[in-house]
Structure 1
Amino acid sequence: MEITSFEQFELNRQLLNAVAELGYTVPTPIQQKTIPLSLGNHDVLGIAQTGTGKTAAYLLPILMKVKYAQGKNPRALILAPTRELVMQINQAVSELGKYTDLRHLALYGGLGPKTQIETLRNGVDIIVATPGRFMDLYRSGEIVTKEIRTMVLDEADKMMDMGFMPQIRSILEIIPTKRQNLLFSATFGGRVERLSSEFLEAPIKVEVTPQASTADMVSQVIYEAPNFRTKINMLDYLMRQEDFQRVIIFARTKGTADNIYKFLSRKVIEPEKIRVIHANKGQNTRINAMDAFKEGNIQVLVSTDVAARGIDVAEVSHVINFDLPLIYEDYVHRIGRTGRANRTGEAITFLTKAEEYHVQKIERIIKATIPRQPLPAGVVVAETPFEEEQAMLREIDEQRRKEDPTFLGAFHEKKITNMAPGRERDKAQAKLSGAKKPSPSGPGTRSGSFSRKSGGSVSTKSGGGKRSGSRGGRR
Structure 2
Amino acid sequence: MTSFSELKINKSILKVLDEIGFEHPTPIQEKAIPIIKSGMDVVGVAQTGTGKTAAYLLPIFSKLVKAEGEDPRVLILVPTRELAIQVGEDIEELTPYSNIRHAAVFGGVGWTKHAALIEPGIDILVATPGRLRDLYHANAVSLKKIKTLVIDEADRMLDMGFMPQIRQLLEIIPVKRQNLLFSATFNEKVEVMTHEFLDFPERVEVSPSATPAQLVKQSYYKVPNFKTKLNLIRHWLEDEEVFSRVLIFVRTKEHAEKVFKVIKRKTEGEKRILHSNKGQNARMNAIQAFKDGELRILISTDVSARGLDVSMITHVINFDLPQRYEDYVHRIGRTARANNHGEAIALIDPAEEYHLVKIEEVIRMKVEEKAIPDEVVIEPTGKAEAQEQSREIDRQKKMDDPTFQGAFHEKKRKPPVERKDGKNLAKQRKKHKRKRR
The equivalent residue for 1:354 is: 351
After TM superposition, the runs of 4+ consecutive aligned structure 1 residues lying more than 3 A away are: 411-414
* Equivalent in the alignment of 2:285: 288
Partners of 1:400 and 1:254 lie apart in 2 by 27
SS at match of 1:174: coil
- Cα distance in 2 for partners of 1:341, 1:121 equals 35
Tell me what 1:124 maps to: 122
Which structure's CA Rg is the greater one? 2
SS at match of 1:78: strand
The offset of 1:412, in angstroms, is 6.6
**Letter paired with 1:50:** T
Q: Which of 315, 323, 326 does residue 329 from structure 1 map onto?
A: 326
Aligned to 2:24: 26
Partner of 1:217: 215
Deviations 1:339-384 (A, max 9, x none): 1111111000000111111111110000001110111111111111
Indicate if the aligned counterparts of 2:76 and 2:127 stay in contact, CA closer than 8 A: yes
**C-alpha distance in structure 1 between counterparts of 2:199 and 2:72, whole Å:** 22
Question: How far apart, in 2, do the equivalents of 1:71 and 1:148 lie?
Answer: 12
Summarize deviations over 1:314-334 as a string: whole Å, max 9, x none: 111000000001111010011
1:368 matched to 2:368 = no
Q: Percent sequence identity over matched residues? A: 53
Matches within 5 A, 1:3-402: 4-241=2-239, 242-270=241-269, 273-402=270-399
**What secondary structure sits across from 2:360 in the alignment?**
helix
Q: Is the 8 A contact 2:33 2:59 kept in 1?
A: yes
Cα separation, 2, equivalents of 1:268 and 1:121 = 47
1:72, distance to aligned residue in structure 2 (A): 1.1
- For residues 112 and 183 of structure 2, what CA distance do their matches in structure 1 show? 32
Task: Report the CA distance between 1:135 and its aligned residue.
Answer: 1.2
How many residue pairs get aligned? The number is: 410
Q: CA deviation at 1:409?
A: 2.5
Q: CA deviation at 1:20?
A: 1.2
Whichever residue aligns with residue 91 of structure 1, its letter is E
How far the C-alpha of 1:405 sits from its partner, in A, is 2.2
Please give the root-mean-square deviation of Cα atoms over the aligned residues, in Å. 1.3
1:245 CA displacement:
0.3
Distance 1:46 1:412, change over 3 A: closer
User: 2:257 & 2:106 partners in 1: Cα distance?
Assistant: 25
Mapping for residues 460-475 of structure 1, pairs under 5 Å: none
User: Which consecutive residues of structure 1, in runs of 5 or more, have no partner in the other structure?
Assistant: 415-475
Residue 231 of structure 1 aligns to a residue in which SS? helix
Structure 2 portions without partners, runs of 5+: 412-437
Look up the SS of the partner of 2:113 in the other structure.
helix
Give SS of 1:197's match: helix
The CA distance in 2 between the partners of 1:324 and 1:127, in whole Å, is: 35
Residue by residue, what CA displacement relative to the aligned partner does 1:294-323 show, whole Å, maximum 9, x if unpaired?
010011011110001121111110000000
75-84 vs 398-407, greater mean Cα deviation? 398-407
TM-score normalised by structure 2 residue count: 0.92
Paired amino acid for 1:244: F
Alpha-carbon distance between aligned partners in 2 of 1:92 and 1:61, rounded to the nearest angstrom: 14
CA distance in 2 between counterparts of 1:412 and 1:8 reads 65
Matched-pair contact (CA < 8 Å) for 2:111–2:134: no
Question: What are the equivalent positions in structure 2 for 1:434-449 lying under 5 Å apart?
Answer: none
Shift of 1:70: 1.3
Q: Secondary structure at the match of 1:144?
A: coil
Q: Name the aligned partner's letter for residue 21 of structure 1.
A: E
SS class of match (1:319): strand
Bigger Cα displacement from structure 2, 316-325 vs 67-76: 67-76
> Aligned letter for 1:310?
G
